[in-house]
Amino acid sequence: MAGRTVRVGGLPADLPPDRVADKLTIHFLRSRNGGGEIADVQVLAGSQACALITFEALEVAQRILKAKNHVLSIGGKKYPLEVTAHVVELSPDEVARSRQLLPA
């Protein structure tokens, strides 16, 4: 999964998360947007809603990150999207556990 997931911000807050997920899937499947096959879409609600989109291939995620000006169109409204690489932050406990698993 590493490197295949992008974080998408700038989502419409006034729409249900499942509708936003559907629209994001359509947008990022299209080759004209740099997209390709998607493994998973998670819309994370909150004051600054975002989505995590995991692509089947690393190359697709890299193309998406290089492409500029992603705009999601829903019901005649346009939402400029902020697409960045998704970096998983480990808690100190997870870091300690992962070090214990590594051979010395």
The range of the structural domain enclosing residue 49 comes to 5-85
Low-confidence ranges of the chain (pLDDT < 70): 1-2, 89-104
Residue 48's pLDDT is: 79
* Residue 79: inside a domain: yes
* Residue 90: inside a domain: no
Name the pTM for this structure. 0.80
CATH of the domain at 72: 3.30.70.330
What is the domain count for the chain?
1
- Phi-psi label, residue 32: left if phi above 0, alpha if psi -120 to 50, beta otherwise: alpha
* Residue 92: inside a domain: no
Residue 91's pLDDT is: 55
* Residue 99: inside a domain: no
Residue 23's pLDDT is: 95
* Residue 101: inside a domain: no
Residue 51's pLDDT is: 96
| Span 48-69, pLDDT tens digits | 789 999 999 999 999 999 988 8
* Residue 100: inside a domain: no
